[in-house]
């Protein structure tokens, strides 16, 4: 930059917690002066995020508690979730979350009270903790199988003498497990031979409950 006076504020392209070194020289009708001495300064670290707020905890079964909170202000990398069991307990970290919700399905016991707190992490460090929120798991086990979402029967035409590659999407939802495991046989992307093939799919939740279903893939001759 050029400056008409003897001060200048550099606000261009600076990064937090970074050292920058400067020198100055004068320009006039007679040309350029020699350089000044050098001077260095390190930019300040950004402030930490504000504390998350409005944390809530809701027990959905004997093995799942859902958390939700209001986002922090400022630069946030993730949220650190901490849990303690019963009263007068010590909090321990259990997970990090990229958003403002988290489903706790790890190491929970039936009919047990759990207390949670959350704090934000960002380039400026850690925020203060949120409020605490508690929930008591239910006194019954999860016995409900996941529900599969299957495509309808598929009809396609062979692309070679072997048949055709067929792709499909199968998903599942569960009352407790947010991510039941889905498997199909034959799997999507397989070569299906000419004729009719039954695709059988299963969805298994964290409690071992299994939901199943099937659909048909028909490959017609060229």
Percent of the chain with pLDDT over 70: 100
In a domain, 69, yes or no: yes
- Give yes or no for a cis peptide into 151 (omega within 30° of 0): no
Q: Which of 136, 165, 190 is the last residue of a domain?
A: 136
Q: Are residues 162 and 126 in the same domain?
A: no
Q: Are residues 124 and 151 in the same domain?
A: no
Provide the pLDDT for residue 86.
74
In a domain, 38, yes or no: no
Per DSSP (E only), the strands in 27-146 are 27-28, 31-32, 39-42, 53-59, 65-70, 78-85, 92-97, 101-104, 113-122, 125-126, 133-136
Does the structure show a pLDDT above 80 at 212? yes
pLDDT band at 35 (very low <50, low <70, confident <90, very high): very high
pLDDT band at 63 (very low <50, low <70, confident <90, very high): confident
Provide the pLDDT for residue 78.
98
In a domain, 40, yes or no: no
Burial 83-92 (b: 16+ CB within 10 A, else e): bbeeeeeeee
pLDDT band at 110 (very low <50, low <70, confident <90, very high): confident
Chain segment 136-155, per-residue pLDDT in tens: 998 877 889 999 999 999 99
How many domains is the chain built from? Answer: 2
- pTM exceeding 0.85: no
In a domain, 183, yes or no: yes
Side-chain-facing half-sphere of 121: CA atoms under 13 Å: 9
Q: How many whole angstroms separate alpha carbon 216 and alpha carbon 37?
A: 80
Provide the pLDDT for residue 101.
98
Across 44-53, 175-184, 200-209, 212-221, which has the greatest mean pLDDT? Answer: 212-221
Chain segment 193-210, per-residue pLDDT in tens: 999 999 999 999 988 999
Burial 190-200 (b: 16+ CB within 10 A, else e): bebebeebebe
Does the structure show a pLDDT above 90 at 60? no
Chain segment 37-53, per-residue pLDDT in tens: 999 999 988 899 999 99
Segment 70-87 shows an average pLDDT of 93
State the chain's mean pLDDT as an integer: 95
Pairing of strands 101-104, 92-97: unpaired
Segment 46-61 shows an average pLDDT of 94
Q: Are residues 107 and 158 in the same domain?
A: no
Segment 149-171 shows an average pLDDT of 97
Find the domain containing 160 and state its range: 147-220
* CATH number of the domain where residue 216 is located: 2.60.40.10
């Amino acid at each position: 930059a050029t400056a008409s006076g003897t001060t200048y504020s550099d606000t261009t392209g600076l990064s937090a917690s970074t050292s920058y070194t400067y020198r100055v020289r004068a320009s006039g009708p007679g040309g350029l002066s020699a350089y000044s001495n050098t001077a260095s300064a390190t930019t300040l670290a950004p402030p930490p995020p504000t504390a998350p707020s409005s944390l809530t905890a809701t027990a959905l079964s004997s093995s799942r508690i859902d958390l939700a909170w209001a986002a922090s202000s400022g630069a946030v990398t993730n949220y650190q979730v901490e849990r303690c069991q019963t009263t007068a307990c010590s909090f321990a970290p259990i997970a990090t979350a990229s958003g403002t919700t988290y489903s706790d399905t790890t190491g929970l016991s039936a009919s047990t009270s759990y207390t949670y707190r959350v704090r934000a992490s960002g380039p400026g460090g850690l925020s203060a903790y949120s409020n605490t929120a508690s929930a008591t798991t239910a006194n019954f086990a999860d016995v409900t199988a996941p529900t599969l979402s299957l495509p309808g029967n598929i009809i396609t035409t062979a692309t070679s003498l072997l048949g055709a590659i067929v792709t499909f999407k199968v998903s599942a939802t569960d009352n407790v497990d947010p991510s039941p495991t889905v498997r199909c046989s034959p799997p999507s992307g397989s070569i299906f031979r000419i004729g009719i093939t039954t695709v059988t799919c299963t969805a298994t939740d964290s409690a071992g409950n299994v939901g199943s279903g099937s659909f048909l893939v028909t490959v017609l001759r060229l």
